[in-house]
Amino acid sequence: MTILFTKKENINKFVFVLVLALEFGTSGVATADNTGRNLAATCMGCHGTNGKPINEVTGKLAGIKSEEILKLLVDLRSARRTSTIMEQITKGYNEEQLKQIAKYFSEIK
Amino acid sequence: MDKKILNSRRYFVKVGGLLAASALTGRKASGGSAPLGAHVVIVGGGFGGATLAKYLRMWSNKLIKVTLIEANDNFVSCPFSNFVLVGLRKMSYITHSYSNLSSKYGVNVLKDRVSTVDTAKKTVKTTSGKEFAYDKLVLATGIDFDYSELGALGNADMQGKIMHAWKAGAQTETLAKQIQGIKDGGVMAISIPKIPYRCPPGPYERASLIAEYFKKHKPKSKLLVLDANEKIQSKEGLFKKAWEDLYNDQIEYIPNSELKDVKISGSSISAITEFDEVKVDVLNAIPNQRAGDLVLSSGIKLVNNRWAQVNWMDLQSTNNPDIHIIGDSTFPAPTMPKSGHMANQHAKVVAAAIIDKLSGNLVNKSPLVINACYSFVAENSAMHVSSVHSYDQETKTMQPVKDAGGLSKERNGLEALYATAWAENIWSDILD
């Protein structure tokens, strides 16, 4: 410790790191389970980063209730709801994965 | 510069360790401390590299330092470049700035070209003489061309006249001028290389849009499609039907017809295949392809001396744990196409994996990626092919998910709206 704090620059660095690390710790990024985020990321090419598309023809997902997104995805997968591409894509995910995706987007503000 | 980076990284890691032992006690065990100050160097700012730069910063709460080295001033999209060729869009529509990556995400975007990788020292050198140390290096270098079997097209002078336009940019503009300058009754040919090449349906979309342009503006003109393959390589039935329905008078499709040589005399161009020689006014020759030059010279393991071999769980080089390769430069997993969408998906798998590795966390053992690929057959008519690929621990690669994915039932206007939304949203996902 003493070696690390012999210079003012290092103390500043420590404070900087402390702030970032605390933020990092509370953000959930450092915890290992990012399953929902990683799965949701597969949707973001068409539906925008974090479910906020700039061209909303594909559908905005951010902030929609989890149950609503899940119902939509399940209905698409079972072709109860007609689609061009989403029936094919939702078949690539199991129900647990669809739940995680729905939960992730519902929590985006 | 590189020493500074390395020193600060070591410093941060030490402090991070202390914090994990003190300030963060009581929190859920994360398997490791934050990746404080680690440095990731990404070479290439296309669909894969630029996405990775953004997501690494976004998902690490900007704790990982990211340098993106790209040779061009701007991102220029291959998707929709076929629209530019026939005057339906301007270059500005497909040209996008990297400025948000720097201003919003704090990526160090550098216009330069990496000349060498020193895997022992873990540094890269650029042609302008800069050197960067990396903790993780990602090669997102796309494709380069192999002219070795194209006769006279191997010389630079000829390459200045015969466009590939298979990397969007200046070549797109030149080919657009050539196509739009063709006289009514003029003949054009497109030559398609053997698979694998970037964007399997791309040449057939290009042919469709040029045929539509001829039909509207130069009804006596013809388009020859010289395909080195035995058949249309993607969406075959849909393209065939569209061409039969719409462009019977414009397109002549010739399979098993690999371009071997090119001659120019005056304004006439001869496209020479194994059994034939055709005279055309404009030739668009798409050459054979391989991984970017840097991939081939970096010492990482290759397949067929052309593509990078990766472990599909995290797209890590199979012989270098500190190098990942994403996008078109990879030797693909079964049925996985070389597409911009796929590169965007690779980037997200690698962003998650790199953050986990630098944090000491376990890497996701079951990553999943999807491909959504739209092709236009006319200005207001498009169709798609989709697929989902999931990592399979038994075969140790990504496998297509059974029953998922598929083709459009038919081409139509609704899919054209989706295709446009796809492009605008993915550009934004990559760069904004």
| Segment B161-203, tens digit of pLDDT | 999 999 999 999 999 999 999 999 999 999 999 999 999 999 9
A56: left (phi over 0), alpha (psi -120 to 50) or beta: alpha
Least confident piece of the model among B29-38, B53-62, B383-392: B29-38
Contact B41, B123 (CB under 8 A): no
Residue A101, number of CB atoms within 10 A of its CB: 27
Cα–Cα distance between A72 and B427 in angstroms, integer? 25
Query: Any idea what DSSP says for residue B187?
Result: E
Taking an 8 Å cut-off on Cβ atoms, the answer to whether B428 and A54 are in contact is yes
**For residue A74, what are its two tokens?**
């399940």
Q: What angle do CA B151, B154, B157 make, to 5 degrees?
A: 120
pLDDT of residue B267: 86
CB < 8 Å to B349, chain A: 38
Q: Indicate the length of chain A as a whole number.
A: 109
Residues B88-110 have a mean pLDDT of 98
Residues of chain B neighbouring A21 (CB-CB closer than 8 A): 16, 19, 23-24, 33-34, 36
CA distance A44 to chain B (A): 7
Q: Report the relative pairing of strands B320-325 and B136-139 from DSSP bridges.
A: parallel
Q: What percent of chain A has pLDDT over 90?
A: 70
Q: Check CB contact under 8 Å for A44 and B362.
A: no
Contact A49 B36 (CB under 8 A): no
CB within 8 Å: B24 and A92: no
Distance from CA of B429 to the nearest CA of A (A): 5
Q: Report the residue of chain A nearest B409, measured CA to CA.
A: A84
Question: Are the beta carbons of B424 and A57 closer than 8 angstroms?
Answer: no
CA-based nearest residue in chain A for residue B364: A35
pLDDT exceeds 70 at position B20: no
Amino acid at A108: I
Residues of A in contact with B420 (CB under 8 A): 55, 57
What CA dihedral angle connects B321, B323, B327 and B330, to 10 degrees? -60
* Percent over 90 (pLDDT), chain B: 91
Tell me how far the alpha carbon of residue B211 is from its chain's centroid. Answer: 25
Min Cα separation A67/chain B (Å): 23
- The answer to whether residue B206 scores a pLDDT higher than 80 is yes
Backbone torsion region of residue B423, taken as left when φ is above 0, otherwise alpha when ψ lies between -120 and 50, otherwise beta:
alpha
**How far, in Å, CA of B23 to CA of B165, rounded?**
55
Q: How far apart are CA B318 and CA B334, in angstroms?
A: 17
At A12 the three-state DSSP class reads helix
pLDDT reading at B25 higher than 50: no
Residue type, B158: M
Q: Which of A61-75, B28-42, B96-110, B230-244 has the lowest mean pLDDT?
A: B28-42
pLDDT of residue B2: 39
Of B61, B361, B418, the CB nearest to A58: B418
Total-model pTM:
0.89
**In contact, B174 and B159? CB cutoff 8 Å:** no
pLDDT band at A33 (very low <50, low <70, confident <90, very high): confident
Closest-CA residue to B269 (of B151, B149, B184): B151
- Number of A to B CB contacts under 8 A, please give it: 160
Which residues of chain A does B61 touch, with a Cβ-Cβ cutoff of 8 Å? 20, 23-24, 27, 29
In whole angstroms, what separates CA B17 from the centre of its chain? Answer: 38
Which residues of B fall within a CB distance of 8 Å from A58? 418, 421-422, 425
pLDDT tens digits along B356-381 = 999 999 999 999 999 999 999 999 99
Q: Which of A21, A47, A58 sits opposite B23 (nearest CB)?
A: A21
Which residues of A fall below an 8 Å CB-CB distance to B?
1, 4, 10, 13-14, 17-18, 20-25, 27, 29-32, 34-35, 37-39, 41-42, 44-49, 53-58, 84-85, 88-89, 91-93, 97
**Smallest CA–CA distance from A26 into chain B, residue:** B27
The length of chain B in residues reads 432
| % of chain B with per-residue pLDDT over 70 | 92
Could you tell me the two tokens for B98? 């990297």
Contacts of A29 in chain B (CB under 8 A): 34, 59-61, 355
| B interface test, pick of A89, A93, A100, A108 with most B CB neighbours within 10 Å | A89
* Cβ-defined contact of B34 to A97 (cutoff 8 Å): no
| Nearest chain A CA: its distance from B259 CA (Å) | 35
The CA distance from B17 to B4, in Å, is: 20
pLDDT digits 0-9 by tens, B261-314:
999 998 899 999 998 999 999 999 999 999 999 999 999 999 999 999 999 999
What distance in Å separates the CA atoms of residue B153 and residue B178, rounded to the nearest whole number? 18
With vertex at residue B176, the alpha carbon angle to CA B109 and CA B287, rounded to the nearest 5 degrees, is: 75
Given a cut of 90, whether residue B401 has pLDDT beyond it is yes
B118-127 pLDDT tens trace: 999 999 999 9
